[in-house]
Amino acid sequence: MGANKLEVFEIVKVNRQDIHGADYNPRKISEAARKKLRAGLKKYGSVQPIVVNKRTMNIVGGHKRLGEFDDIIRKPDYELTVAMIDVDEKDEVAINILLNNQSVMGEWDTFALQDIKNQFPEIDFINDCGFDESDISVMLGDAFKDVKIEAPLIDPMQEAKKSADDFRQMKKDQREKAKNRDAENPQEAHELSDLDYTLTVVFPNNREKADFMRKIRKDPKEKYIKSSIFYDISKGAYDISALNK
């Protein structure tokens, strides 16, 4: 077995024809993702074993990788080094789902990725790591400027104009409602609307918004920030002097 009590597998060699995919496997893959997987296997090789259950000889983890093995090796049978576990069918299914469940794999630390990009500029996050252009433009911001993008998925200026137009329409509707309310209740005419605490800040494009969010140590995907952030900026708590340089 493994070197400690948590390693409940043993590394063994099996013949390809002796193992098979699990009929219940709930994981699917798009053609684009499959091409990325194959490219990674061809470039780096397989760096972790396929997981197989000894009792059923079902593949528990690695269905898609093994499919690429078959297409690349192109032999009816060949040897494989696998991580062999010994569990009942219920546990096998649960482990299969757990291994494929992205919600237990954590999230990307965008600041750490930015540091990696700065430290290893030769790494191509699209071709070497399998990211999509849209993911990288949000996560890496300025570091993404050296990567050629043929066309943006969304026109950021149109999105900004739409957001501004929507906000203006909302404020217009608020004023109309306020006029009607004030006409009926003159004593409340000078009270603030419940929505007067909001402020919309529009950036010229997604990259500058992502860069600003990184500088205030917030996730670039967040849609709302507290007003205290602007007080901190005014006091010099954040260095945003180079934001547009």
193-220 confidence digits (pLDDT tens) = 554 566 778 877 777 788 888 888 888 8
Residue 238 has pLDDT above 70, yes or no: no
Q: What angle do CA 185, 191, 192 make, to 5 degrees?
A: 130
pTM: 0.58
Instruction: Give the least confident one: 32-36, 63-67, 82-86, 106-110.
Output: 106-110
Structure tokens at 187: 């004593």
Residue 151 has pLDDT above 50, yes or no: no
Question: Range(s) for CATH 3.90.1530.10 in the chain?
Answer: 10-104
What was the pLDDT predicted at 152?
47
What does 152-189 look like in DSSP terms, one character per residue?
Answer: -SS-HHHHHHHHHHHHHHHHHHHHHHHHHHHHH-GGGT
CATH code, residues 10-104 = 3.90.1530.10
Structure tokens at 158: 């149109």
Could you give the CA distance from residue 138 to residue 159 in angstroms, rounded to a whole number?
Answer: 16
